[in-house]
Structure 1
Amino acid sequence: MEFAIRPRIHDYDTFAAFEQAHAVGSRDLILTQRFLHETFFSQTQAQTLFYDDYCDGEPTDKAVDAMLTEVRSRDFDRLIAIGGGSILDCAKVLALDSDDTVASLFAPDVQPGRKVELFLSPTTCGTGCEVTCVSVFDFPEVGSKIGKGFNAGFADHAVLIDEFLSNIPYPVFARSSADALVHALEIYLAPGASVYTDMFCLAATRSILQGYVRIAGLGPGVIQEDAKAYLAASNMAGIALANVLAGGVHAIAMHFGSEHHVPHGEATRLFLPPVFKTYYSKAPTGKIADIAQLIEEILGPCGSGQTPFEALDVLLSKVVPTRRLSEYGMNMGDADRYADKVIETQQRLLVNNYTPLSKADIVQIYSQLM
């Protein structure tokens, strides 16, 4: 068993406090979005690179190649990424000491070093990728999203800034926090989990579910009150993810999200309930029983004939609403082909399933959501 927390973790109320503490200036390059720059740090002396100039959604390999070309023409000492998971994933690759394309970097056994100091600051509360080394990009020519961990992808500093959640659009909050919940739940059940990842996963799950109960009862206005809790929960789930990969929920969501251009957090939220219901029906007395107990502790006892994961589904529908798969453009006849693609492209995740998912199981999971 091995467990590590690589980046130093910092917590600031505002960007100004972070900027002062780390003497941010002209030798720094900030990768971000224009609206974040205009809202929170338009007066910074740092150089800027705007993600929006290259992507209008989640990053493709070709879009990141274009960013690499620009970054390699700049002169700077530190790369500071401020944004959601897509921006942070890009920064991990932009900071590598390599002249390769993304496709070449994602080849097996390619592990370049790092050329600049790296700061990652999330503006959502979901991916936890400020403390992981994995980058996930869409490869349209392959027809799926693919992730890869780089040894040099770990940031030197993970920076949590409460201010960044002050005007987060509700759909972004909902999708990203749901992804953090999926990380915590999947990794708790993963074969490679340890007492250390268990500790972070259970704490993150408890915090997010308690926050969701507050949203369901009081409305989205409580999100800012709970900002520190959500940022910490996402970070804790990310720490677990840095040590143990996620499993079947992410595997199925990766392909569906690529096929239908669905944001990652929305896709993982979609498949969380049916995958966990499948796990619970196949192996109800293992570690999943701990999660079932925790859900009942927070949500209250289940109704007659209801499992804890059905109760969780009800709560998620109130806080993170989604659509049927057919409304995203999937046809019933696609399920068999999609299942094959998941099995073909997502083995690095499928091996971490709580119980094995057969092709028939994956087809059935799709069918439940049609």
Structure 2
Amino acid sequence: MKELSIKPEIYIFDKCEEFINKFKIGKGDIVITSEHTYVSYLKKFNLDTNLIFIRKYGNGEPSDEMVEAIYQDTKNISYKRVIAIGGGSVLDVSKLFALKTISPVTDLFDHKLEFIKDKELILIPTTCGTGSEVTNISILELKSRHTKLGLAIDELYADFAVMIPELLEDLPFEFFATSSIDALIHAIESSVSPKATSYTEMFSYKAMEIILNGYKEIAKNGRESRVSLLKDFLLASNYAGIAFGNAGCGAVHAMSYPLGANYHVPHGEANYQMFTSVFKTYERLKPIGKITKLNKFLASILHCNEYEVYDRIDDLLNILISKKQLRQYGVSKEELKEFTESVMTKQGRLMANNYTQLTKETVYKIYESLY
């Protein structure tokens, strides 16, 4: 059995200048980022690169329409390296531009195009959540299909994953909260996956420890206390990315996709709505197994009984961002069946990683309980 794979070389620099000098950023590079990140951290270096500001092509979660529009603007540009600096949207979109053939994007995601990587890829996160810099997954909203899909192929691995804590210094609290919650869920979901190994669990559990202890610090000392913890959260996100990149995520992510795609709920927030209900269901259906070890570990961090861990996590996360009912996003009761159908028919890649099997009826009941 394959135990662990870490494809990118991983670098950490305190400041952007160190990265620019080490990697000699310049001609032949295309930099995909946000205008804010460029102005705040890169403009002063007068880099001679091709620049793509992703928000020119749309706001919110990355989509096939966004990729197609960027492709039209870059298809005649010659470049040898793709350098992505941003959150999950930037990284997931940028991975595709290291491929020789990108369009039509829907054909790419349907595996109808040949996967050939012909550019070097450097991924630099500006949030502490996606872990995308160390995974081979690109997730897009396919607008015509009203859902999100993931493309997972080895050609999407970065050549270099670079972490620069300086880039998180002006991250607004709400983005810090949703992205780090996403990282926590990556760690927890991957820890109970059937594909989890002793190696992936090592990364999962260390990520959980760092994030939950960081949340306890924020709960005690206020939002601004996160600033001194940013490097820790960045590392935790990276650890969680290594874990779920190998072991996979499951029903929490699968069930969040219809909410995110139809109501444009940020990815970490959509995951948060599903998280503890899914794990309470796992606990009820299969109380003995990997979840036993997980609950014991979480209880030791949260200083509570094992049967209380998911309520305590809800309490802790509610300090960061308020949990809502699905109806508060505008979801109708009738849509719950559509959400369920979408999960069961379109998210097999994720549902295969569930701790225990969830039937169509069980998925619907989880949605219903959250309504």
State the TM-score bracket (shorter-chain normalisation): over 0.9
CA distance in 1, matches of 2:232, 2:301: 16
Matching of residues 293-308 of structure 1 within 5 Å: 293-302=296-305, 307-308=308-309
Q: Which residue of 1 aligns with 2:20?
A: 19
3-state SS in 2 of match to 1:332 = coil
Q: Which residue of 2 aligns with 1:263?
A: 266
Q: Does 1:191 align with 2:194?
A: yes
* Pairs within 5 Å for 1:1-370: 1-2=1-2, 3-44=4-45, 45=47, 46-98=49-101, 100-108=103-111, 110-302=113-305, 307-370=308-371
Q: Is the 8 A contact 1:211 1:226 kept in 2?
A: yes
Q: Encode CA deviations 1:45-94: one digit per residue, 9 max, x unaligned.
A: 13211101112111211210111222222122211100001100011101
Quote the offset at 1:246 in angstroms.
0.7
Distance in 2 separating the partners of 1:110 and 1:365: 37
Q: 1:261-282 deviations in whole A, cap 9, x for unaligned?
A: 1111111111111001111111
Matches of 1:352 and 1:219 in 2, distance apart? 36
Change (3 A) 1:99 1:220: closer
User: What is the TM-score when the length of structure 2 is the normalising length?
Assistant: 0.96
User: What's the TM-score, normalizing by structure 1?
Assistant: 0.96
1:333 deviates by: 2.8
Q: How many angstroms apart in 2 are the aligned matches of 1:210 and 1:109?
A: 45
| Alignment RMSD (CA, Å) | 1.4
CA-CA distance at 1:99 after TM superposition? 5.2
CA contact (8 A) 1:302 1:311 kept: no
- Paired residue secondary structure (1:41): helix
Q: CA deviation at 1:27?
A: 2.4
Distance 1:99 1:302 in 2: 50
User: How many angstroms apart in 2 are the aligned matches of 1:97 and 1:333?
Assistant: 42
Deviates more, 1:319-328 or 1:342-351: 319-328
Structure 1 position 313, deviation (Å): 1.2
* Partner Cα separation in structure 1 for residue 297 and residue 238 of structure 2: 20
Greater mean deviation of Cα atoms: 105-114 or 27-36 = 105-114
| 8 Å CA contact retained: 1:67, 1:94 | no
Give how far 1:26 is off.
2.7
Contact 2:71 2:103 (8 Å CA) reproduced: no
Distance 1:118 1:28 in 2: 10
Cα-to-partner distance string for 1:77-134 (whole Å, 9 max, x where unaligned):
2111000011000111011011532111112364421121110000001010000111
Asked if 1 retains the 8 angstrom alpha-carbon contact of 2:57 and 2:66, the reply is yes
Q: Output the amino acid matched with 2:327.
A: S
Helix, strand or coil at the partner of 2:206? helix
Kept in 2, the 8 Å contact 1:60–1:137? The answer is yes
> Which amino acid is 1:184 matched to?
A
- Give the aligned residue type for 1:191: P
Question: How far apart in 2 are the matches of 1:63 and 1:77?
Answer: 22
Return 5+ residue gaps in structure 1 as ranges: none
Between the aligned partners of 1:283 and 1:107, the Cα distance in structure 2 is 34
- Cα distance in 2 for residues equivalent to 1:56 and 1:333: 28
Q: Kindly indicate whether the alpha-carbon contact (under 8 Å) linking 1:89 and 1:135 is maintained by their aligned counterparts in 2.
A: yes
Distance across 2 between alignment mates of 1:298 and 1:109: 46
Take 1:52 and 1:155, find their aligned partners in 2: how far apart are those partners? 22
Structure 2: segments with no counterpart, 5+ residues? none
Q: Residue type matched to 1:271 in 2?
A: M
Q: CA separation of 1:17/1:255 partners in 2, compared to 1, >3 Å: closer, same or farther?
A: same
What is the aligned-residue identity percentage? Answer: 36
Q: Which amino acid aligns with 1:367?
A: E
Check 1:318–1:111 CA distance in 2 against 1; reply closer, same or farther (3 A cut): farther
Q: Contact 1:71 / 1:94 at 8 angstroms: preserved in 2?
A: no
